[in-house]
């Protein structure tokens, strides 16, 4: 391999990895915007003080899948969990 082709391949690899990183960052920003939009929507609809039954009724009426889980924040309290997104592990 000549010095010229080695340099050309090195530059190509650098540009490729830079573009892949930029694409990954844009995808991450888009996912984060989606998460924030979902949280904003729930925050506007389900005001502080809404009863558990009110929350569950809202989820059921709007066909939103949720699950009850104990002890997420407090040892004796149930929480309704809603999946707003999914990412691959780093």
Statement to judge: residues 3 and 41 lie in one domain: yes
Statement to judge: residues 39 and 57 lie in one domain: no
Statement to judge: residues 56 and 69 lie in one domain: yes
For 23-77, the DSSP string reads: HHHHHHHHHHHHHHHHHHHHHHHS-TT--HHHHHHHHHHTT---EEEESSSSTT-
Statement to judge: residues 34 and 52 lie in one domain: no
Statement to judge: residues 61 and 71 lie in one domain: yes
Alpha carbon 73 to chain centroid distance?
A: 20
Domain range for 8 is 1-45
What is the biggest distance separating any 2 CA atoms in the chain, rounded to whole angstroms?
A: 72
Which positions ≥6 away from 83 have C-beta within 8 Å? 65
The number of distinct structural domains making up the chain is 2
One digit per residue, the tens of pLDDT, for the chain of length 90 reads: 566 677 666 666 666 566 656 777 888 888 889 999 999 999 999 999 999 899 999 999 999 999 988 887 777 788 888 988 887 776
pLDDT at position 4: 65
């Amino acid at each position: 391999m000549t010095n010229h082709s080695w340099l050309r391949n090195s530059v190509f690899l650098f540009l490729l990895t830079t573009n892949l990183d930029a694409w990954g960052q844009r995808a991450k920003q888009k996912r984060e915007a989606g998460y924030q939009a979902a949280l904003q929507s729930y925050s506007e609809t389900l005001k502080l003080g809404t009863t558990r039954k009110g929350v569950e009724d809202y989820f059921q009426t709007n066909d939103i899948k949720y699950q009850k889980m104990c002890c997420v924040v407090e040892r004796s309290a149930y929480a309704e969990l809603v999946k707003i997104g999914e990412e691959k592990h780093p």
